[in-house]
Amino acid sequence: MERRPLPTTYRIKSFGCQMNVYDGERMGELLAAQGLTPAAEGEDAELVVLNTCHIRERAAEKVYSDIGRLLKTDGPAPLITVAGCVAQAEGKEIMARAPGVGIVVGPQAYHRLPELIAQASQGIRATDTDMPADAKFAALPRRRRSAPAAFLTVQEGCDKFCTYCVVPYTRGAEISRPFADLVAEAQLLVEAGAREITLLGQNVNAWTGSDEADRTQGLDGLIRRLAQIDGLERIRYTTSHPNDVTDGLIAAHGEVAKLMPYLHLPVQSGSDRVLRAMNRSHTAEAYLRLLERFRAARPDIALSGDFIVGFPGETEAEFAETLQVVEAAGYAHAFSFKYSPRPGTPAATMNGQVAAEVMDERLQRLQATIARGQLAFNQASVGRRCAVLVERRGKRPGQWLGKSPWLQSVWFDADAAIGDLVMVDLAQAGPNSLEGRVLETLAA
């Protein structure tokens, strides 16, 4: 690699989960603190960060095709940085396979980007995939800007070792950020414009910490404390694990007005045999009972889940059990994926890998069932009156898009601004969004 001047402009492209979106924002703040500016729309950036996801195969392949595209420019090639979970898992391979990449940095090491950029600018390719527990957050700059709906990572890593999943290998062991740091960051986000904060973690409800009085708290304790922040109107959290659900968290849904009526609780399969092979350590029945308890605490709660079809050995009858769970759960929304063998995970070498056509067909049936439930949930919302947080403009002048408490996208016409909370009547429902009629704007 050749020496080059230090970059002055950057672009960050985040793939995958919301935690990567959060990391992408924090990297942007770090680069801005070094004097770099984001490249304008349509302009080439001198530094490009691909903030990658390793959860499924296609996501990793996209990274290589993006690198190829970036190197094909007519002008000087940008300094390419591969960050995120692909960097963590395949750092060495990327350096060998893609000589155009200058920096590889893992998800626990991106606070070191300025040093790595300085090294790469000297013509020395730089890699940092260390996993120091929790060092990164303390080294990041203070939050100064925020969208009305902000993300806040509270927990990282995973100790569950589901047999199909790379997260325990790419994000490391479970760590919880300290209570006081999170309260401080949430306060800064609100001062910077956030009205809603979504608490993030690979298993966000595994979060634990000591509060101001040195009492041990779980996620519900953190939520109750954050709810005291003036100007913070809405709190959400994702993604939860069934085994980490506590009585306190369920109760919080009935007691904390700012906690939105939405729960994303993945189950992955409706078959107990498959769940055992996945090392999920809960049954389908226990999962459905948990959903019922959340519903009892907050009857209007919108439920969401994750499903994997075609896990090794999954039979047609076992897949049918998954469809039954979807019907029984009554989801407002759910994510579904084809099983993707991830190198190094136990499931990748299990017998009975399911043929691609079978997975395709099962995924289609599952998605049709989920879509029916989603439409039914949206239709049942018609006639409800609720607050919508305005997130962006629509295509038509005067049209806006915001989110209902149940995380539905709501379109409406009004004289509004991004960050407003407006009261709407939900008037019409489609499969993916609703139309609302505005009644009034609520005071900021």
Question: Which residues here bind ligand SF4, judged by CB under 6 A?
Answer: 158, 160-162, 165, 167-168, 202-203, 241
Tokens of 303: 């439920």
Q: Which is nearer to ligand SAM, 116 or 167 (CB)?
A: 167
x/- track of binding to ligand SAM for residues 163-182 (CB under 6 A): -xx-x---------------
How far apart CA 305 and CA 326 sit, in angstroms, is: 9
What minimum distance in Å lies between the beta carbon of 160 and ligand SF4?
Answer: 4
Q: Which does 56 bind (CB under 5 to 8 A by kind): ligand SF4, ligand SAM, none?
A: ligand SAM
Residue from 268, 374, 381, 404 in contact with ligand SAM (CB under 6 A): 268
Q: Which is nearer to ligand SF4, 55 or 291 (CB)?
A: 55
Q: CB under 6 A: which stretch of 5-13, 73-81, 112-120, 332-340 binds ligand SAM? A: 332-340
Q: Which is nearer to ligand SF4, 61 or 161 (CB)?
A: 161
How far apart CA 347 and CA 363 sit, in angstroms, is: 19
Which 183-202 residues touch ligand SAM, going by CB under 6 A?
Answer: 202
Tokens of 252: 């919080």
Q: Which does 168 bind (CB under 5 to 8 A by kind): ligand SF4, ligand SAM, none?
A: ligand SF4
What minimum distance in Å lies between the beta carbon of 341 and ligand SAM?
Answer: 7
What minimum distance in Å lies between the beta carbon of 167 and ligand SAM?
Answer: 5
Q: Which does 17 bind (CB under 5 to 8 A by kind): ligand SAM, ligand SF4, none?
A: ligand SAM
298 in Cβ contact with 292 (< 8 Å): no
What minimum distance in Å lies between the beta carbon of 181 and ligand SF4?
Answer: 23
What minimum distance in Å lies between the beta carbon of 308 and ligand SF4?
Answer: 9
| Residue 238 within binding range of ligand SAM, rule CB under 6 A | no
What minimum distance in Å lies between the beta carbon of 340 and ligand SAM?
Answer: 4
| Residue 413 within binding range of ligand SAM, rule CB under 6 A | no
Residue from 56, 293, 365, 437 in contact with ligand SAM (CB under 6 A): 56
Which 5-34 residues touch ligand SAM, going by CB under 6 A?
Answer: 17
Instruction: Look up residue 46 and give its amino acid.
Output: E
- The candidate with the shortest Cα–Cα distance to 116, out of 104, 101, 132, 99, is 104
| Residue 306 within binding range of ligand SAM, rule CB under 6 A | yes
* Exposure b/e, 181-209, CB count within 10 A at least 16 = b: ebbebbbbbbeeebbbbbbbbbbbbbbbb
Q: Which does 105 bind (CB under 5 to 8 A by kind): ligand SF4, ligand SAM, none?
A: none
Q: Which does 161 bind (CB under 5 to 8 A by kind): ligand SAM, ligand SF4, none?
A: ligand SF4
| Residue 239 within binding range of ligand SAM, rule CB under 6 A | yes
Chain positions contacting ligand SAM, by CB under 6 A: 17, 55-56, 158, 164-165, 167, 202-203, 239, 241, 266, 268, 306, 308, 337, 339-340, 342
